[in-house]
A and B are shown apart, each in its own frame.
Chain A
């Protein structure tokens, strides 16, 4: 059974204080690892897809990296508007297999 574990569950940062969110996964044949941002009462917003170990992707203050066992979402000099829950999800390789298995998320609060 695929498993995704995110840590920490919650993280409070001062504005400008850089940090990283962790996503550990267990899946039999990784097709892709996904990061999403979810604001309260909204659906998840797609951020990144990573497909192979060593891959990195960046978007503004966010950078996602991937190893064979985990992924990190690095946030550099965060701003209050970066406050949200960040979700990690994986899909398994296999024909027609696009189902996402989600972690419980990390709730990020950035304090001005």
Chain B
């Protein structure tokens, strides 16, 4: 199956600092990537849709100035949490759509962000 690599798998940062999370599709080109946030015992909540070479589309209620998304190539999207606060602590997961006839989304391993 297709492989999506997310890095780092966990990070602890101080309040007020910024954190960058990378999402790479290793063996396929992904024109579209998604970023999700997951709270304990809850399902995945879509934050934004990222298309290569264009601005990300954010879901309602998601602050685009806090969660900066860059999709500079067909294999890499990044999510930067700016001026992080403890309430931003969560599990962040990316996914990528493999082009062609399939529509399956493949997910990264997730990043556990803890803001102290």
Contact = CB atoms under 8 A, between A and B. Distances in A.
Nearest to A100: B105
Interface string A63-106: 00000000000000000000000010001000010111011110
Interface string B74-115: 000000000000000001011101000011111111101000
A51 to B, nearest CB: 9
B37 to A, nearest CB: 12
How many chain B residues sit at the interface, stated as a range, is 20 to 34
A44 B107 CA distance: 6
Nearest to A48: B104
Contacts of A98: 32, 97, 103, 105
A43 B109 contact: yes
Contacts of B4: 43
B46 interface: yes
Nearest to B112: A41
Given A41-B110, A43-B108, A99-B34, A105 B43 contact: yes
Contacts of A41: 91, 110, 112
Interface of B: 1, 4, 6, 32, 34, 42-44, 46, 49, 91, 93-95, 97, 102-110, 112
24 contacts: A32-B103, A34-B105, A41-B91, A41-B110, A43-B93, A43-B107, A43-B110, A44-B44, A44-B93, A45-B107, A46-B1, A46-B104, A46-B105, A46-B106, A46-B107, A49-B102, A87-B44, A96-B32, A98-B32, A98-B105, A99-B49, A100-B95, A100-B105, A102-B44
